Amino acid sequence: VSPHPVATPGFRYDAGRLACAGVDLSRLADALGTPCYVYDAEGVRGRYRSLTGALAPLAPLVRYAVKANPNLAVVRLLSGLGAGMDVVSLGELERAWLGGAAMGDICFAGVAKGDAELRAALDGRHSPLLHERRLTRGRDVAARGPIGLINAESASEIERVDAIARELGVVANATIRLNPGVSAGANDKVRVGEGASKFGLPPEDVLALARRCGELPGVRFRGLHMHLGSQIADLARLDEALGAVVELADRLDAAGRPVDVLNVGAGVAVSYMGEPAPSDAAWAETLARRLGPRVEGGATVMVEPGRELVAQAGVLLTRVRHVKRAGTRTIVTTDAGLNALVRPAMYGAAHMVWPAVCPPDAAPDPIAPPDGRGLARADVVGPVCESSDVFARDRPIPPVERGDVLAVFTAGAYGMSMAMTFNDLPMPAEVMVDAGVARVVREPQGYADLLAPTALGLAGGREIGGL
Ligand code: LLP
């Protein structure tokens, strides 16, 4: 069996040179500098079309999980295709809105939403962007309506939603998040559906809270939210969790709390190293088997895919700083590390790493890790002072030297959104390639930008009055 591709078809090696929609990525790196992320716009469109096509029989509302890749060009592209947005903070909510999503098409998840976040979600006059014309570009943030849905996770939160909604004179639509008591996901850091996780509530508590909503004039109970976890490769686990959702929905109906929204969370796993991953069709089938009857009864299904839409549509470009011989090992050091892409260090995640220019016979087509026969092995490591700052350990890779550009594949999701400036490394740039044209969609962070907020420390600091 040939390995599964790990990049969208827009990424291709042409005569040994990696290109995105015809744009040569080694030359792009020369022009802009590294590290930088490159996104394939057509690849994102293709993923969105494939997913919505497969799910069409359920006519779901798609809510893109902004956390996967919050770049405004990505949000704008997906909202232009008709996606709503799933957000987990006020920052993400503002991005979703700036990127063109209607407030009614945004849902807001998270275990610890703050009052200020809820206020801005329910009434644009409380948006932090109220006077930020540079960002809002003439759109009237004050006039925007309340958010489509709040995915609530606790009784305490529902009471706050009710109080704030009444204070603002609106009614907040809410789903309640069920913890399905099913364990699934690539590693313990992304497994959220098991009983002991901080997310959601067990069925009895959801029932009690749905009943309580009936006494709160500021809240309208709409249904259930369930997110089993991210990078779900085993659809049997998802099926089990959906079973718990449907069973609870039946009990809520019987209790006079009809469920008209069934939000079933994330998309499925993607292939990072050529391993098989569930197809959109298989995912759709799993959903349809459990939720089909409810949809026929008039319920609305909602999905919140992030990774699936953008992971394979992005690469991280980084430049080789040194090739170091250490005993029998070869260590390739690069200018990007866990500061730019934390997944390998944080989750032990594997990403394919390959030179952007290589001998034509070493160029994988489609892009998937080759078996590496005949290649020497090397470690590819970042500049950060952490022993976990390793992109690839003892991997076959064509020979590289100082100055070469490497591509880290399948980096479009949870790459830039988790980047940090540890070790005082500036944030990478982001580029979107569309129809053969490469455009910077986030400037590389300069050292002045990186250091400016800290200048207070030299100037004696700013005193906090009234303490
Ligand atoms: N909905 C909810 C409520 C979520 O918490 C998440 C992801 C999603 C949807 C989207 O999941 P996706 O379709 O992208 O799998 N940083 C980790 C992944 C964390 C996911 C957190 N929640 C990683 O890089 O693997």
Any atom of ligand 1 within 6 Å of the Cβ of 306: yes
Mean pLDDT of 78-84: 98
- Please state, in angstroms and rounded to a whole number, the distance separating the CA atoms of residues 300 and 13: 42
**Mean pLDDT of the region 177-193:** 81
Query: Could you tell me if the CB of 172 is within 6 A of ligand 1?
Result: no
pLDDT at 193 over 90: no
Question: 291 CA to middle of ligand 1, Å?
Answer: 22
What is the rounded CA–CA span in Å between residue 21 and residue 257?
50
> What is the structure's pLDDT at 198?
92
Q: Is the pLDDT of residue 231 over 80?
A: yes
Q: Tell whether ligand 1 has an atom less than 6 A from the beta carbon of residue 343.
A: yes
Terminal C-alpha separation, the chain: 67
Q: Which has more pLDDT, 190 or 69?
A: 69
Q: How confident is the prediction for the chain on average, in pLDDT?
A: 96
pLDDT one-digit tens code per residue, 95-144: 999 999 999 999 999 999 999 999 999 999 999 999 999 999 989 999 99
414 C-beta closer than 6 A to ligand 1: yes
| The residue type at 55 | L
Name the residue at shortest CA distance from atom 23 of ligand 1.
414
Q: Could you tell me if the CB of 153 is within 6 A of ligand 1?
A: no
What pLDDT score was predicted for residue 194? 74
Question: Residue 190: is its pLDDT beyond 80?
Answer: no
3-class secondary structure, 142: helix
Contact 275/210 with Cβ under 8 angstroms?
A: no
Between CA 213 and CA 172, with CA 294 as vertex, the angle to 5 degrees is 25
Cα 151 from chain centroid (whole Å): 17
Q: Which atom of ligand 1 is nearest to the CA of 225?
A: 3
What is the number of residues in the chain?
A: 467
Q: How far does the centroid of ligand 1 lie from the alpha carbon of residue 266, in Å? A: 6
CA distance 149 to 171: 11
How confident is the model over 234-281, as pLDDT tens digits? 999 999 999 999 999 999 999 999 999 999 999 999 999 999 999 999
- Reference 230, options 199, 204, 192, 275; nearest CA is 192
Minimal-distance CA residue to ligand 1 atom 11? 266
pLDDT of residue 1: 63
Closest CA to 349 of 271, 276, 422, 423: 271
The atom number, within ligand 1, closest to the CA of 186 reads 25
pLDDT at residue 74 is higher than 90: yes
Q: Is the CB of 229 under 6 A from ligand 1?
A: no
Largest CA distance in the chain: 71
350-379: per-residue pLDDT in tens? 999 999 999 999 999 999 999 888 899 999
Residue nearest to atom 8 of ligand 1 (CA): 266
For tokens 């420390």, what's the residue?
457
Confidence of residue 189 (pLDDT cuts 50, 70, 90): confident
What is the model's pLDDT at position 184? Answer: 77
Atom of ligand 1 minimally distant from the CA of 265: 1
| Residue 272, CA distances (Å) to 36, 356, 382, 454 in order | 19, 18, 19, 38
- Specify the pairing of strand 172-177 against strand 23-24: unpaired
Probe residue for ligand 1, chosen from 187, 230, 342, 343 as the CB with the greatest number of ligand atoms within 8 Å: 230
Taking the centre of ligand 1 as the mean of its atom positions, its distance from the CA of residue 458, in whole angstroms, is 40
How far does residue 88's CA lie from ligand 1's centre (Å)?
11
For residue 174, list its beta bridge partners. 150, 221
Options 20, 213, 358, 385, the catalytic residue: 385
pLDDT tens track for 33-68: 999 999 999 999 999 999 999 999 999 999 999 999
Phi and psi of 329, rounded to 5°? -95, 155
Contact yes or no for 433/20 (Cβ under 8 A):
yes
Closest of 270, 311, 291, 268 to residue 410, by C-alpha:
311
The model's pTM is 0.97
375-401 pLDDT tens trace: 999 999 999 999 999 999 999 999 999
Interatomic CA distance for residues 124 and 143, integer angstroms: 6
Q: Is 231 near ligand 1, meaning CB less than 6 Å away? A: yes
**Rounded to whole angstroms, how far apart are CA atoms 106 and 83?**
9
CA-closest residue to ligand 1 atom 6? 266
Which of 115, 125, 81, 117 has the alpha carbon at shortest distance from 99? Answer: 81
Among this protein's residues, is 20 annotated catalytic? no
Compute how many other C-beta atoms are within 10 angstroms of the C-beta atom of residue 377.
14
The gap from C-alpha 237 to its chain's centroid, in whole angstroms, comes to 21
92 CB under 6 A from ligand 1? no
Looking at residue 183, its pLDDT comes to: 80
230 CA → ligand 1 middle, Å: 5
Region 454-460: what's the mean pLDDT?
Answer: 94
Mean pLDDT of 426-431: 98
